[in-house]
Amino acid sequence: MKTILLTIIAASLGAPAAVFTASGALASDIQASVDSFRAALGANNGVGGSFATGRREINWDGVSDAFSAPNQLPGNFFNVNSPRGVVMSTPGTQLQVSANAASGTPVEFGNLNAGYPAHITPFSAQRLFTPLGSNIVDIQFFIPGTNTPTSVLGFGAVFTDVQTAAGTLFTVFYANGDNGGQFAVPANAAAGGFSFLGLTDSVNRYSRIRIQSGQVDLGSGITQNLQANLDVVAMDDFIYGEPFNAAAGVPEPASVVLIGAGLGCWLSSAAANTGGIRVPDLI
């Protein structure tokens, strides 16, 4: 069974302008909602450059074997190696993109646990994404290819195997740093099913999204047990508005500064200060 919901809410502080949600056993069950969210954000700006409008996407599928399982993905990969204005961090141990079949490493995070491929299905083949050592990943936005923090009009993500209501969540942080509350990713009972949550807010914009991906981290010996509130989940496509600060304008090419190694230290500090998530405003 599929469910699709699009809620339009008057833009105001504390409420997103629009919430796009869908879930179902098949990828086709969420496709219309994903495409509506894409249309709301505008044209796909691809890799590099800087634009005043449009969107970016990350489907993980083009990441090389060198940065995929069993290897870790650098948190700044999508702002340095493939500039799309996103830097990620986790309070866990590392970030990982799942393997391609041709690599010889088990796909769908079977390298972590042989049982995971029965739960984890790609929305876009073949690679997916997860943090390790934690079920939390923080996503921060920068003018692509620079160390200039900025904000986005909206953010959405596709998940697989979300089977517990309110077990997978976004916590959103506005451009002014305020905590904008928590939003639940819709669940679907089917093993290997799909869920989508997309949010837009043209008034407050988002400077950071914290994702709780399932109720437990992925890893060796960590097995799903829904009765014990241990819902295993993985992420696929990220879709988000162009990281752009209207007040600052689009930077001239000469002002674009590639991020150096120092950013990793700065992000570690930022990640350590992200506690205190307030009581959920679940939808």
Q: Would you tell me which residues interact with Ca ion (CB under 5 A)?
A: 59-61, 122, 124, 127, 161, 163, 231-232, 236
- Closest separation between CB of residue 134 and Ca ion, Å? 17
Q: Which amino acid is at 216?
A: V
The CA R_g of the chain, rounded to the nearest whole Å, is 18
Closer to Ca ion by Cβ: residue 86 or 232: 232
Residue closer to Ca ion by CB (options 57, 61) is 61
Structure-block tokens of residue 1:
């069974």
CB of 162: closest distance to Ca ion in angstroms? 6
- Residue 61 or 65: the one with the smaller Cβ distance to Ca ion is 61
Alpha-carbon gap, residue 136 to 109, rounded angstroms: 17
Nearest distance, CB of residue 191 and Ca ion, angstroms:
7
Residue type, 45: N
Six-digit token string for 169:
């969540």
Smallest distance from Ca ion to CB 281, Å: 24
In the bound state with Ca ion, the residue whose beta carbon lies nearer, of 217 and 231, is 231
Three state DSSP letters for 192-221: CCEEEEEEECCCCCEEEEEEECCCCCECCC
How many whole angstroms separate alpha carbon 151 and alpha carbon 149? 7
